[in-house]
Amino acid sequence: MRLRADLSLFVISIFWGSAFVAQRVAGQMGSVYLFNGLRYLLAGLVVLPVAIRSLRKITPGKPLSSISSSQLRWMILAGCLLFLASALQQVGIIYTTAGNAGFITSLYVVLVPVVLFFTWRERLHWLSATAVVLSVIGAYLLSTGGRIEFRLGDVLEFIGALFWAFHVVVVGKYASRYEPTSFSVGQLFVCGILNLGAGVFIEGALPLNWSMVGAILYTALFSLGLCYTLQIWAQRHTPPADAAIILSLESVFAVLTGWWLLEERLTGIQILGCALIFGAVLLSQSRDWISSTITKPTIPEDQ
């Protein structure tokens, strides 16, 4: 079962990484909010039957009655954070490459302990601090190629990664109190509605063509709907650290699909930056295992 879960997470990382290409295609056509709104609402509709089935097991006959006011508040907050993170990510990807967006977005894993330190006063582990330093150096090399200049898209992706980190913290601390699929649907709908509302005022109309429709369907059905649901099942059967490390491969597949489908290229310095970011993500997620190994008491051989 654990092998199947790990393989499922590996497939999720492929879909999530390749979704940056679809987002890049939509961004090049000038759509941010309407694109996000449609794909998040469609993803919510895909997961909705699963959520209703799960709620009926809790309260047969009246599934919605099991959603408390406190769950509603946290779903709205999670949806608002998801809206800010997804909007910044989609705006940023217009001005940078799919590979850059994927790697910089992956920094949310490293930023989570930083958010916990400044907002919940949880102690920052020295391995997490080291990971932050590595990630900053890596982001600098990836964004600038070693020259002192930052692209707007990379800066927006980094700010978006910070909101992804806040979203992960809120979901990790509060979503576990409630039925997971209904919480997921709720935040998807909130995010979709906010994006659509912003799109109506800012963009006016969505440039519909086969490329846009394909980008919406691919990201909604696979990277959001299927992967969010599959992730819930998979993470019940594999340790959190393993899951995070496997999912961090998303950034690698973002670069590979950007190179394959969009002919995006990286310099040697930028590849080094990617390696540092990837190493920071692995270090951040492996800190518990490394700490336990370092502090593990030695047992004399004669015992």
Digit-coded pLDDT (tens) for 129-153: 888 888 888 888 887 776 656 688 9
Amino acid 86 reads S
User: Domain for residue 231, yes or no?
Assistant: yes
User: Domain for residue 303, yes or no?
Assistant: no
Q: Which of 23-27, 74-78, 170-174, 245-249 has the lowest mean pLDDT?
A: 245-249
Judge whether 110 and 128 are in contact, CB under 8 Å.
Answer: yes
Q: Is 62 exposed, middle or buried (0-12, 13-18, 19+ CB in 10 A)?
A: exposed
The whole-number average pLDDT for the span 184-213 is 92
Cα–Cα distance for residue pair 109/100, rounded to 1 Å: 16
Q: Which of 90-94, 259-263, 294-298 has the lowest mean pLDDT?
A: 294-298
Judge whether 107 and 137 are in contact, CB under 8 Å.
Answer: no
pLDDT for 160: 96
What's the half-sphere exposure (Cβ side, CA atoms, 13 Å) at 265? 2
Nearest CA to 191 among 224, 165, 157? 224
pLDDT at 303 over 60: no
User: Domain for residue 295, yes or no?
Assistant: no
Confidence of residue 19 (pLDDT cuts 50, 70, 90): very high
The structure tokens listed for 183 are 């919480």
pLDDT at 30 over 90: no
The structure tokens listed for 107 are 């920094």
CB neighbours of residue 244 within 10 Å:
19
pLDDT at 42 over 90: yes
Amino acid 81 reads L
Cα–Cα distance for residue pair 88/156, rounded to 1 Å: 6
pLDDT for 302: 44
Q: Please, what's the largest Cα pairwise distance for the chain?
A: 77
pLDDT at 236 over 80: no
Q: What percent of the chain has pLDDT over 90?
A: 34
User: Domain for residue 212, yes or no?
Assistant: yes
- Classify residue 148 by its DSSP letter: S
Q: What is the mean pLDDT of the chain?
A: 85
Structural domains in the chain (count): 1
pLDDT for 158: 94
* 56/200: higher pLDDT: 200
pLDDT at 246 over 90: no
pLDDT for 166: 92
User: Domain for residue 296, yes or no?
Assistant: no
User: Which domain range does residue 277 map to?
Assistant: 2-288
* 7/66: higher pLDDT: 7
Cα–Cα distance for residue pair 292/53, rounded to 1 Å: 40
pLDDT for 297: 46
pLDDT for 62: 66
User: Domain for residue 300, yes or no?
Assistant: no
Q: Which of 19-28, 38-47, 221-230 has the lowest mean pLDDT?
A: 221-230
User: Domain for residue 293, yes or no?
Assistant: no
pLDDT for 63: 65
Confidence of residue 300 (pLDDT cuts 50, 70, 90): very low
The structure tokens listed for 103 are 């790697």
CB neighbours of residue 39 within 10 Å:
30
User: Domain for residue 297, yes or no?
Assistant: no
pLDDT for 7: 87
Cα–Cα distance for residue pair 85/161, rounded to 1 Å: 7
Q: What is the DSSP annotation of 268-286?
A: HHHHHHHHHHHHHHHHHHT
Nearby residues of 214 by Cβ (< 8 Å), 6 or more positions away: 22, 25
CA torsion 91-96-97-102 (nearest 10°) is -60
pLDDT at 201 over 70: yes
Judge whether 164 and 82 are in contact, CB under 8 Å.
Answer: no
CB neighbours of residue 162 within 10 Å:
17
Which position has the token pair 């190493």? 279
pLDDT for 32: 93
